[in-house]
């Protein structure tokens, strides 16, 4: 992932005000669609509560549910693998592909394989990997990482995508009609689907009771890959399990509505048994999850169903962009998941929030995201990973606010300074002044006003 | 110790007793008439919903529209000219199918989703690889919510099944909706 911390990485976007506005508006549009979809259901809050209960049950019974799932999936003819970490996951997938002498694999969206760094691992081993979700294909051609978990190329403008397709596929230069570009991708990827030796998919939900799993797409790319290739591999984090098939009726009602405001995705495919002559593999991946679950304050983060509602609503995410989070899952949920894997590396992320709570309010499984962001700040403070400038600032603030005299004098001096030399505050060295206008100063303090008016 | 044993070992200590979640009965009243809601939603999802009285009406509609192009059907009594062996063919050879016709098990009013099992598909890839897709559905099979759908579906009946709700689509280029991503470009639902 890229070098640097959230605030400095965000400048890539925030330095361009028009682009920041464009990014903000485009993602806010998705949030609004989510609202329309959610308010269209009288039982929305009951659905959220039920989903939250189901996921709590899953986390409390993961051991038994995994065994039940493994047994049923195996009986269905699916080979189940267990991977402790990213390296083992990559080795398992590579092992399956090597056994079948796979030269080319098509892949539908899987944030887990992104988390594990699967593509570079396979490419190093001489296997061509084609991402088939349009957004993922775009960023793969540009050698970038996804900036959003549902809309991986949301940070790109159509002109940029047009240039990429022109360079990669020879599409007409300067033609940035989305219809034209998507058609070019359809034609190119169809050839990949038809010539792939294996297909890999992510997993939205796996059902313990039946040993099947569900993959949701709008494009139909997971199905095109899986039903054409002789070998299908699906990779899932341990927490994607749900106990019963009937629980899907709650999850599928919430997922697409929370995600894009659609009533359901175009395809919700239930994979249970391999078709005749096909081999099906499923890789269960831990990669820190079984340790994460042991932290009572942060355990609930594992309930996430990856809908992205929290990032779409987040005022910080919308203006800083997904890449500023320097981790696979960005936004509020990423900021509470990432510190579990590497506290020092991701110590900046829980601070990339206003703690406004919008994330928790839209979360379909009711994760207390903003409370966990606050909790992480305590943990990070104790571990000594708070940035020096922030630490000094907070110390000064603490000193001023706990000494009434200092506060009084400071306030008066500050007001004078603001009136006589506004540039002392309104200058580019002050990060608070970036993209903001300072308000006019009142001439009297609240204390003086109160004395006169009480 | 294997990774499996290690993972399970760590999870074992986290197991706590909590009652299995039973689902409440969700409000179905807001759906109103399931059939008309189903039609409205599918209309919003770029789908042509066509009411028919008989299978022969479907056959003539399709034949007229896609004459001269490759059509396949997995519906009993509707056979298109070259369909003889498509179910036994290598699935890659379905690439040139212009239109494919299937029966759906049930429809869901709240989201326009139609369940099709692999038995109904003939070949799993068929409803995805065809350029245009047709599904025949009985009005009496339309239920209000996903909850009723799963109650009516028998998981033992299929090795693969999918809910299809409209043609394939993408909004990955600047949020502009494009219909016809990788799967079918058009969906025709024939309501009987």
Of B118, B155, B174, the CB nearest to A178: B174
Contacts of A109 (CB under 8 A, 6+ apart): A131, A133, A136, A152, A202, A217, A221, A222
Q: Give the pLDDT score at B84.
A: 64
> To the nearest whole percent, how much of chain A has pLDDT over 90?
83
Q: Give the pLDDT score at A330.
A: 97
Structure tokens at A121: 């691992």
Q: Give the pLDDT score at B118.
A: 96
The C-alpha angle with vertex A10 and arms to A5 and A12, in degrees rounded to 5, equals: 115
CA distance B27 to A42: 7
Give the mean pLDDT of A171-200: 98
Question: Is ipTM beyond 0.90?
Answer: yes
Give the mean pLDDT of A307-320: 97
Alpha helices, H only, chain B? 3-12, 34-44, 55-65, 118-121, 126-129, 146-152
A331 vs A308, A368, B94, CA distance in Å? 8, 14, 42
Residue A380 has pLDDT above 90, yes or no: yes
**Residues in chain B closer than 8 A to A29 (CB atoms):** 175
Record: contact B20-A243, CB cut-off 8 A: yes
Give me the phi and psi of B72, to 5 degrees please.
-130, 155
DSSP 3-state of B16: coil
CA distance B59 to B44: 25
Give the mean pLDDT of A321-337: 97
Give the mean pLDDT of A242-270: 98
Query: Exposed/middle/buried for A288, CB within 10 Å: 0-12, 13-18, 19+?
Result: middle
Q: Least CA distance to B38: which residue of chain A?
A: A263
Q: How many cross-chain Cβ pairs, A to B, lie less than 8 Å apart?
A: 241
Give the mean pLDDT of A383-411: 85
Closest CA to A135 of A113, A116, A109: A109
**Residues in chain A closer than 8 A to B2 (CB atoms):** 82
Which of A46-50, A122-126, A157-161, A445-449 has the weakest average pLDDT? Answer: A445-449
Contacts of A232 (CB under 8 A, 6+ apart): A198, A199, A200, A201, A225, A226, A271, A274, A278, A279, A280, A281
What is B32-191's CATH topology? Answer: Rossmann fold (3.40.50)
Between A442 and A348, the higher pLDDT residue: A348
Domain segments of chain B as ranges: 32-191
Residue A125 has pLDDT above 90, yes or no: yes
Record: contact B164-A266, CB cut-off 8 A: yes
Quick one: how far is CA A451 from the chain centroid?
Answer: 51
Q: Does A220 touch chain B (CB under 8 A)?
A: yes
Which of A52-61, A423-432, B171-180 has the weakest average pLDDT? Answer: A423-432
| Distance of residue A85 Cα from the nearest chain B Cα, in angstroms | 9
Computed on alpha carbons and rounded to an integer, the radius of gyration of chain A in Å comes to 25
Residue from B5, B18, B171, B184 whose CB has the most chain A CBs within 10 Å, to mutate: B171
Structure tokens at A21: 């506005």
Residue B42 has pLDDT above 80, yes or no: yes
Residue A347 has pLDDT above 90, yes or no: yes
Beta carbons of A265 and A305 less than 8 angstroms apart: no
User: What percent of chain B is helix, strand and coil (3-state, nearest 5)?
Assistant: 30, 20, 45
**What is the band of A381 on the pLDDT scale with cuts at 50, 70, 90?**
very high
**Using one digit for the tens of pLDDT, what is the confidence trace for B133-178?**
999 999 999 999 999 999 999 878 899 999 999 999 999 999 999 9
User: Which numeric CATH code is attached to A41-287?
Assistant: 3.40.50.10420
Q: Does A82 touch chain B (CB under 8 A)?
A: yes
Residue B81 has pLDDT above 90, yes or no: no
Mean pLDDT of chain B: 95
Q: Give the pLDDT score at A443.
A: 76
SS (H, E, C) chain A: CCCCCHHHHHHHHHCCHHHHHHHHHHHHHHHHHHHHHHHCCCCHHHHHHHHHHHHHHHHHCHHHHHHHHHHHHHHCCEEEEEECCHHHHHHHHHHHHHHCCCCEEEECCCHHHHHHCHHHHHHHCCCEEEECCHHHHHHHHCCCCCCCCCCCCCCCCHHHHHHHHHHHHCCCCCCCCHHHHHHHHHHHHHHHHHHCCEEEECCCEEECCCCEEEEEECCCHHHHHHHHCCEEEEEEEHHHEECCHHHHHHHHHHHHHHHCCCCCCCEEEEECCCCCCCEEEEEEECCCHHHHCCCCCCHHHHHCCCCCHHHHHCHHHHHHCHHHHCCCCCHHHHHHHHHHHCCCCCCCHHHCCCCCCHHHHHCCCCCCHHHHHHHHHHHHHHHCCCCHHHHHHHHHHHHHHCCHHHHHHHHHHHHHHHHHCHHHCCCCCCHHHCCCCCCCCCCCCHHHHHHHHC
**Residues in chain A closer than 8 A to B8 (CB atoms):** 63, 66-67
How many CB atoms within 10 Å of residue A58? 23
**Using one digit for the tens of pLDDT, what is the confidence trace for A12-36?**
898 999 999 999 999 999 999 999 9
Q: Give the pLDDT score at A400.
A: 86
**Using one digit for the tens of pLDDT, what is the confidence trace for B100-125?**
999 999 999 999 999 999 999 999 99
Residue with tokens 């989070």: A325
Q: Give the pLDDT score at A428.
A: 67
A288 vs A295, A333, B11, B171, CA distance in Å? 12, 16, 12, 33
In this chain, the answer to whether the domains covering A41-287 and A295-383 adopt an identical fold is no
Residue from B20, B174, B179 whose CB has the most chain A CBs within 10 Å, to mutate: B174
Domain segments of chain A as ranges: 41-287, 295-383, 406-453
Q: Give the pLDDT score at B155.
A: 79
Give the mean pLDDT of A268-293: 97
Q: What is the pTM (predicted TM-score) of this model?
A: 0.94
Record: contact B181-A182, CB cut-off 8 A: yes
Torsion of CA A257, A259, A261, A263, to 10 degrees: -40
Q: Give the pLDDT score at A427.
A: 72
Residue A64 has pLDDT above 80, yes or no: yes
CA distance A337 to A291: 12
Q: Which CATH number fits domain A295-383: 1.10.1060.10, 1.10.10.10, 3.60.110.10, 3.40.190.290?
A: 1.10.1060.10
The H or E element that residue B51 is part of is strand B48-51
Residues 229-258 of A with CB under 8 A from B: 238, 243, 245-250, 252-253
**What is the band of A3 on the pLDDT scale with cuts at 50, 70, 90?**
low
**What is the band of A102 on the pLDDT scale with cuts at 50, 70, 90?**
very high
Record: contact A219-B170, CB cut-off 8 A: yes
What is the CB-side half-sphere exposure of residue A143 using CA atoms within 13 A? Answer: 4
Which of A142-146, A321-325, A439-443, B59-63 has the weakest average pLDDT? Answer: A439-443
Structure tokens at A237: 């984090």
CA distance A334 to A313: 14
**What is the band of A333 on the pLDDT scale with cuts at 50, 70, 90?**
very high
């Amino acid at each position: 992932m890229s070098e640097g911390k959230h605030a400095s990485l965000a400048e890539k976007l925030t330095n361009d005000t028009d682009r920041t506005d464009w990014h903000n508006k485009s993602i806010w549009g998705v949030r609004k669609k989510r609202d329309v979809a959610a308010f269209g259901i009288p039982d929305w809050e009951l659905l959220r509560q039920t989903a939250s209960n189901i996921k709590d049950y899953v986390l409390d019974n993961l051991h038994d549910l995994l065994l039940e799932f493994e047994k049923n999936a195996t009986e269905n003819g699916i080979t189940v693998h267990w991977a402790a970490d990213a390296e083992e996951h990559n080795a398992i997938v590579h092992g399956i592909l090597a056994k079948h002498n796979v030269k080319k694999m098509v892949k539908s969206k899987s944030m887990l394989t992104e988390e594990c760094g699967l593509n570079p691992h396979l490419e190093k081993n001489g296997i061509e990997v084609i991402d088939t979700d349009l957004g993922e294909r775009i960023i793969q051609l540009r050698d970038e990482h996804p900036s959003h978990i549902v809309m991986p190329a949301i940070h790109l403008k159509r002109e940029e995508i047009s240039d990429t397709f022109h360079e990669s596929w020879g599409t007409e230069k300067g033609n940035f009609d989305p219809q034209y570009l998507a058609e070019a991708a359809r034609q190119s990827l169809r050839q990949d689907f038809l010539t792939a030796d294996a297909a890999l998919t992510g997993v939205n939900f796996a059902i313990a009771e039946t040993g099947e799993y569900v993959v949701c797409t709008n494009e139909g790319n997971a199905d095109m890959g899986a039903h054409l290739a002789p070998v299908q591999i699906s990779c899932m984090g341990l927490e994607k399990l749900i106990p019963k098939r009937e629980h899907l009726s709650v999850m599928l009602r919430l997922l697409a509505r929370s995600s894009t405001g659609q009533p359901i995705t175009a395809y919700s495919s239930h994979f249970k048994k391999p078709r005749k002559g096909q081999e099906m593999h499923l890789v269960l991946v831990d990669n820190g999850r079984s340790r994460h679950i042991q932290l009572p304050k942060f355990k609930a983060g594992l309930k996430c169903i990856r809908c992205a509602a929290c990032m779409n609503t987040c005022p910080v995410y919308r203006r800083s962009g997904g890449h500023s989070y320097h981790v696979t899952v960005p936004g509020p949920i990423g900021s509470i998941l990432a510190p579990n894997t590497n506290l020092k590396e991701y110590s900046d992320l829980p601070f990339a929030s206003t703690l406004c709570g919008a994330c928790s309010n839209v979360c379909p499984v009711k994760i207390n995201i903003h409370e966990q962001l606050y909790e992480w700040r305590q943990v990070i403070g104790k571990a000594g990973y708070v940035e020096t400038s922030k630490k000094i600032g907070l110390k000064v603030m603490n000193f001023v606010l706990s000494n009434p005299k200092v506060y009084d004098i400071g306030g008066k001096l500050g007001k004078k300074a603001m009136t006589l030399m506004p540039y002392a505050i309104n200058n580019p060295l002050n990060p608070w002044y970036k993209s903001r206008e300072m308000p006019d100063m009142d001439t009297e303090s609240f204390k003086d006003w109160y004395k006169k008016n009480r | 110790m294997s990774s499996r044993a290690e993972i399970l070992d760590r999870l074992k200590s986290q197991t706590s007793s909590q009652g299995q979640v039973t689902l409440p009965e969700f409000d179905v009243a807001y759906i109103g008439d399931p059939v008309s809601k189903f039609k409205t939603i599918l209309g919003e999802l770029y789908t042509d919903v066509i009411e028919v009285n008989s299978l022969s009406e479907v056959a003539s509609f399709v034949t007229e529209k896609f004459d001269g192009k490759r059509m396949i059907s997995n519906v009993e009594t509707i056979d298109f000219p070259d369909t003889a062996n498509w179910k036994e063919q290598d699935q890659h050879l379905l690439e040139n199918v212009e239109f494919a016709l299937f029966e759906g098990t049930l429809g869901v009013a709240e989201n326009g989703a139609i369940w099709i099992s692999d038995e109904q598909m003939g070949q799993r890839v068929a409803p995805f690889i065809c350029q245009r897709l047709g599904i025949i559905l009985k009005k009496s099979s339309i239920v209000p919510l996903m909850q009723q759908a799963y109650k009516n579906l028998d998981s033992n009946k299929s090795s693969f099944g999918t809910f299809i709700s409209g043609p394939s689509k993408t909004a990955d280029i600047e949020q502009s909706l494009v219909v016809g991503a990788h799967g079918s470009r058009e969906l025709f639902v024939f309501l009987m």
